[in-house]
């Protein structure tokens, strides 16, 4: 006499195949959900944007960007993927310095703007800073970089690694001077 067990008559290859299909479908759904969580879209996008920064009704800076994307959430920020032009003003509304870069981001919570790719800062003495990465801290009113920096003045070119300066670039210091070249007129 043959006793019939639970596993008798089951098609094991079919059960295995169905298990794999169910698992793979679940994995794909989970992957789609994870991927959609990672992608964050801007809540606002603007073209040819101009932002005016002031303090106690005094003009401090004007920021212009051909494209600006604003992101909200835990990390609110303004992204300027096509470049930025920023001008700083004194109390008499005269431009004291300017900054241009091919890409920038302003982190709203930290009050920090980061500029990358062909960053150029010019002060009112026409001294020019060239670097590939610069951070402007609005709270401390300082700019800094750890990247290569080149400063061109009327009579010399100084280059090195890292820089600290005030936001209008009237005072600056290269951290690791690599060299300088005198410019004869």
Which helix (H) or strand (E) segment holds residue 177: the answer is strand 172-182
Could you state, in order of their start, the residue ranges of all structural domains in the chain?
11-40, 44-182
Q: How confident is the model at residue 10 (pLDDT cuts 50, 70, 90)?
A: low
Q: What is the pTM of this model?
A: 0.74
**pLDDT tens, 99-118?**
999 999 999 999 999 999 99
- How confident is the prediction for the chain on average, in pLDDT? 84
- Whose tokens are 């679940």? That residue is 26
Residue 19 pLDDT greater than 60, yes or no: no
Question: What proportion of the chain, given as a percentage, has pLDDT over 90?
Answer: 57
Q: Is the pLDDT of residue 31 over 60?
A: no
Query: Is 50 exceeded by the pLDDT of residue 181?
Result: yes
Q: For domain 44-182, give the CATH superfamily.
A: Lipopolysaccharide (LPS) transport protein A like domain (2.60.450.10)
Query: How do residues 122-165 score in pLDDT, each as one tens digit?
Result: 999 999 999 999 999 989 989 999 999 999 999 999 999 999 99
What pLDDT does residue 23 have?
Answer: 53
30 band by pLDDT with thresholds 50, 70 and 90: low
pLDDT at 185 over 70: no
pLDDT in tens, 61-81: 899 999 999 999 889 999 999
Residue 52 has pLDDT above 70, yes or no: yes
Selected residue with higher pLDDT from 138 and 48: 48
Residue 154: exposure state from Cβ atoms within 10 A (0-12, 13-18, ≥19): exposed
Q: Where are the alpha helices (DSSP H) in 11-124?
A: 12-38
Longest dimension (CA), the chain: 113
Query: For 137, left (φ over 0), alpha (ψ -120 to 50), or beta?
Result: beta
């Amino acid at each position: 006499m043959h006793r019939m067990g639970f596993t008798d008559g089951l098609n094991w290859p079919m059960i295995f195949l169905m298990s794999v299909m169910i698992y793979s479908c679940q994995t794909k759904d989970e992957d789609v959900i994870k991927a959609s969580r990672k992608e964050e879209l801007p809540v606002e996008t603007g073209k040819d944007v101009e932002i005016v920064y002031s303090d106690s009704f005094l003009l401090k800076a004007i920021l212009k960007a051909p494209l600006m994307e604003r992101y909200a959430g835990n990390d609110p920020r303004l992204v300027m993927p096509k470049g930025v032009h920023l001008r700083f003003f004194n109390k008499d509304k005269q431009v004291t310095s300017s900054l241009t870069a091919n890409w920038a981001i302003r982190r709203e919570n930290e009050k920090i703007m980061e500029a990358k790719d062909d960053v150029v800062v010019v002060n009112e003495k026409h001294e020019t800073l060239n670097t590939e990465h610069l951070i402007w801290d609005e709270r401390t009113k300082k700019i800094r970089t750890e990247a290569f920096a080149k400063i061109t003045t009327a009579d010399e070119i100084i280059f090195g690694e890292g820089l600290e300066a005030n936001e209008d670039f009237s005072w600056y210091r290269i951290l690791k001077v690599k060299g300088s070249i005198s410019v004869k007129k």
